[in-house]
Amino acid sequence: MSSVPESIATAARALRRDRLTDLFARDPERVTHLSLAWEDWRIDCTKERWTADALALLVAHAEACNLEHWIAALFAGEKVNLSEGRPALHTALRQRDVAPLFVNGRDVMPAIRETRSRIRTLAGELRAGRRGGATGTPIQAIVHLGIGGSDLGPRLVCDALPGPPSGIDVAFVSNVDPADLQRALAGRNPATTLFIVASKTFTTQETLANAAAARRWIAAALPPGRDAGGHFIGVTANVAAATAFGIAESDVLPLWDWVGGRYSLWSAVGLPIAIRHGYDAFAALLDGAAAMDAHFRTAPFAHNVPVVLGLLGWWNACALGHTQRIVVPYAHGLARLAAWLQQLTLESNGKRVTRDGARVFGPTAPALWGGTGTDSQHAFFQWLHQGTHDVPVEFVVPVRAQYPPAEQQTLLVANALAQAQALLVGRGGDALRQELAALGLQGTPLNAAFAARECPGNRASTTLLLPTLDAANLGALLALYEHRTFVESVLLGINAFDQFGVELGKSLAQPIAAALGDGRTLPDATDPSTRALVKHVHSLMRKRS
């Protein structure tokens, strides 16, 4: 599976030899052929190393891979997560119509609607100062404890949306490094602080360790006899574990096994969004995602934004052989987009076997990284323009500003467009030589100056223009990336919804933590490198104490 059909491989081989600027000359309608529109969005894929003919081949390949069937199966709640025998029904979480949706013969929509209404009530109470802690003083601060999918999505959205301030401060703690929690708690008042413990499984060691430390922090500050449990809300599919931790059942919001962790921000995992920005903003986020869902479900492949971007991603990785992908949002609020996308794409498609267990022939998900524009321009863009690696870049550009002054937003957008242009056209040739000659340079010094300044260009990028970064557009953007990732998984023939690779490290950490805790050495059968490291950690620990 995922071998590149010969027609596509041939097209890719030919295009590798072309300069991107020549492709514009060859197809005067290239901008029309390779630009997409959705609502007010424009997605410019014209600077990528492909053509309208290549896109047609890719659409035919998607049809041959039964993409239509897989999209229908995803939305219908079929068990697309084959290895775990589950649906992946994150789309149901933002479904607004009243149509029932059955999982194992049971309509899941009533529970989803009820949970939305609990989120609305809880967020409303907290924002209005109507929920008190154990001493009765109103809660004024939320600390959300969770990791991976139970952290990245809500944290990204809380960061991305502009005020107005709710009066309630929302902080996020994910790392088991005690520095994370201690910094978040510094200066806070236990009497007015509420923790959300978000963990689908409620077994994740980092989250449970932070939750236990948070409970000790609350308990230490309470008058004797007062219960710390009221300072905690749980979001989990494991209600029994949350109640065993001490959270009242009425304060546990449900999750379901058919929601993957990295697709869970639309569920009660998104509670901090509703608390920080209001339930209406959370609802607008869901609506934006639902609008993208409808587009993904119904638009013809050649005009379907997640499908075309998924085809492009697969083409770049599998046909052109790019091993990296860079995402640069020109929006300060999207500083965490790359981190969220890393989990989404690498946990979903960082696999080496197909759905039926065969080895994937060729690469799967490329490494993904990025940073915000314009900061990234002053960090790694030198490498993009003149380094030896050739990595496609995705520019994500909300056009209208969240904050004044307008001139700064103009500068921001101009920089995004200019960077994409610079990657395409580069700098060099006679114009640069003449500039240098005009400075009085000639011969060897001129050649050296030319070489140092030349930017080869011919580097691919996509520019995604969205009208502004509000809740609805953000919801659509995140749903777009979810679906694009799914499209890539279908072309790769892999299951995007499991993540067994993360289990090994978790289980190996247990004996190591035990050995570090009581000073024991690891069993002889352990590899010599790890045994030596444990020994050295022991000696460093002894020195400190």
| Per-residue DSSP letter, 5 | P
Q: Indicate the residue among 20 and 338 with the shorter CB distance to ligand F6P.
A: 338
Asked if 15 and 49 touch (Cβ cutoff 8 Å), the reply is yes
Element (H, E) at 466: strand 461-468
Instruction: Choose which of 51, 150, 348, 489 interacts with ligand F6P (CB under 6 A).
Output: 150
Stretch that binds ligand F6P, among 67-75, 144-152, 364-372, 412-420 (CB under 6 A): 144-152
Active site residue 503: no
Q: Does 147 bind ligand F6P (CB under 6 A)?
A: yes
Active site residue 347: yes
Stretch that binds ligand F6P, among 58-66, 146-154, 357-365, 511-519 (CB under 6 A): 146-154
Q: Indicate the residue among 337 and 522 with the shorter CB distance to ligand F6P.
A: 337
Q: Segment 322-361, which members bind ligand F6P (CB under 6 A)?
A: 347
Q: Quick one: tokens of 425? A: 């056209």
Shortest Cβ distance from residue 365 to ligand F6P (Å)? Answer: 15
Number of residues that bind ligand F6P (CB under 6 A): 14
Q: Does 148 bind ligand F6P (CB under 6 A)?
A: yes
Instruction: Choose which of 90, 116, 144, 200 interacts with ligand F6P (CB under 6 A).
Output: 200
Q: Indicate the residue among 90 and 127 with the shorter CB distance to ligand F6P.
A: 90
Q: Does 288 bind ligand F6P (CB under 6 A)?
A: no
Q: Indicate the residue among 199 and 409 with the shorter CB distance to ligand F6P.
A: 199
Q: Quick one: tokens of 42? A: 């424009």
Element (H, E) at 308: helix 305-314
**Residue (of 153, 149, 76) closest to 108 by Cα position:** 76
Residue 199 to residue 151: CA distance in whole angstroms: 9
Q: Which long-range contacts (CB under 8 A, 24 or more apart) does 532-538 make?
A: none
Active site residue 351: no
Q: Segment 485-524, which members bind ligand F6P (CB under 6 A)?
A: 499, 502
Find where tokens 């209208």 sit.
400
| Beta-strand pair 193-198/141-145 | parallel
Catalytic residue among 48, 347, 394, 488: 347
| Beta-strand pair 324-329/106-107 | unpaired
Find where tokens 């700064």 sit.
408
Find where tokens 């609506």 sit.
287
**Residue (of 460, 317, 458, 428) closest to 18 by Cα position:** 458
Going 433 to 392 to 8 to 5, the CA torsion angle's sign is positive
Q: Segment 254-283, which members bind ligand F6P (CB under 6 A)?
A: 261-262
Stretch that binds ligand F6P, among 30-38, 147-155, 175-183, 427-435 (CB under 6 A): 147-155
Instruction: Choose which of 95, 192, 199, 304 interacts with ligand F6P (CB under 6 A).
Output: 199
Catalytic residue among 69, 303, 389, 506: 506
∠ CA 327-45-318, nearest 5°, is 70
Q: Rule CB under 6 A: which residues touch ligand F6P?
A: 147-150, 199-201, 204, 207, 261-262, 347, 499, 502
Query: Catalytic residue positions?
Result: 347, 378, 506
